[in-house]
Amino acid sequence: MASGETGGFNSEEFAKKMEHFGKHFGEKMQAWTENWNKGGCGKNWEQFGKEFGNKGEQKPWGHGGPGRRGWGGPHKQWGGPWQCGGGFGGGGHKVNRCRVIKKPEGEVVGSPGETVFIKAELRNNTHYPYKPGAMFRNFWTEGATVIEDVLMPVGAVEGMSNFELNIPVKIKDNAAPKEYELMFGMQGPRGWSFGETLIVKLKVVDKVTKKDDDMMLYIKASAFMCKHPESKYSMVECLDAFKAVGEEGEDKVIEFIQKKRQEEAKAFAQEQNESMFKDDDNDDLYS
C-alpha cells in the first residue's frame, strides 16, 4: 500500500502506480495476442485445425466430442452402450475397430435357469490387431439384470478380418417372463469400450414343464426358422433337431439338420439306383 509522509494512504501515488501497471499489462497482452495470431506460442492453431480435420475420420476441435478420457469411459461408466461405438467420444476409427456383420434377426428365446447361445459375426475393420486382454462383454441395460455377466476373452484378431462368436448367455433363475434388450460390445485391456454395439432381443418365457415341453420346442423351432429363411428348414426338421441337441446351442442344431439331410439324400439316391437296375424276370428284352 502506498503511504505519504504522515504514514496515511496516498491516493495520488496509488493512482499513478495503477496507471503504470495497467499500461504495462495492456502492452504485454497486445504483444502476446499478435504473436498468437501469427502462429507463435508453439503452434499456428488455425492451420493446425485445418490440417487435423482433413485426416481420415479425425475432426477439428469442437466437432468430435469428449475423447476416451472423457465420456467414452469403461464399462458401467459414461462410456456405456452407444451405437456409435462405446460412448459419446467414439470416432470413426473407434467404431471400425469392431463392426457388426451378422447377428440374430429374430428373438432369442429361453427360460429362467437356461443358457442360450447368440451367434454373431464381427469384423476388425482397421489395419491393427486387437491388443492382448481384449474382451467381449455385455453392457448395462434392463436386460443385464436377468442374465449372468458375459465376459469372453477375444484373441489377437488381425486387422481387416472377420471373426465369429458363439456367446453363451445364462438366464437367471429369478428372471421375469418378458422381452428384454441385451447389448454387447468390445472392451480393451484398460477397460475402455470400442466398436459397434451388438443389440439382441431376448424373450424369457416360463420355465418348461413336461406338459409345456412340446410348446416350448415349437416356439424355439419357429424362432430358429425365422432367423434362417435362406436354409428353408421345415418345422419337422427343427423340432427333431431341438429335441436331440437343442441344449447344446444353435450350431449343433444346424449341424444335426445338415447331417440328417445328407443321410436322407444318400438313402434316396441309393434307392433310385437300386430301382433303376432291379432285375425283372418278366421282362426279357431278347425274346
- DSSP secondary structure code for residue 177 in this structure: S
* 72 in Cβ contact with 91 (< 8 Å): no
The mean predicted confidence, pLDDT, of the chain is 78
Q: Which carries the bigger pLDDT value, residue 264 or residue 285?
A: 264
Sign (positive or negative) of CA dihedral 219, 148, 137, 91: positive
Question: Does the pLDDT at position 50 exceed 60?
Answer: no
Band (pLDDT 50/70/90 cuts) for residue 87 is very low
Interatomic CA distance for residues 2 and 4, integer angstroms: 7
- Per-residue confidence band for 130, with pLDDT thresholds at 50, 70 and 90: very high
For 51, other C-beta atoms within 10 Å of its C-beta total: 12
d(CA 217, CA 208): 10
Higher pLDDT, 3 or 150: 150
Torsion angles phi and psi, residue 119, rounded to 5: -100, 130
Q: Which residue has the higher pLDDT, 274 or 253?
A: 253
pLDDT value of residue 287: 47
The three-state DSSP-derived secondary structure of 61-126 is CCCCCCCCCCCCCECCCCCCCCCCCCCCCCCHHHHHCCEEEECCCCCEEECCCCEEEEEEEEEECC
In this predicted structure, what is the pLDDT of residue 68? 38
Grid coordinates of 169: 448367455
Taking only the tens place, the pLDDT of each residue in 262-282 is: 999 998 888 888 776 665 555
Lowest mean pLDDT among 2-11, 62-71, 193-202, 271-280: 62-71
Task: Residue 229: count other Cβ atoms within 10 Å of its Cβ.
Answer: 9
Determine the Cα angle at 149 with ends 148 and 152, to 5°: 125
Among the residue ranges 142-151, 175-184, 245-254, the one predicted with the least confidence is 245-254
Query: pLDDT band at 93, cuts 50/70/90?
Result: confident
Asked whether the beta carbons of 185 and 140 are under 8 A apart, the reply is: no
Residue 67 has pLDDT above 70, yes or no: no
Q: Is the pLDDT of residue 81 over 50?
A: no
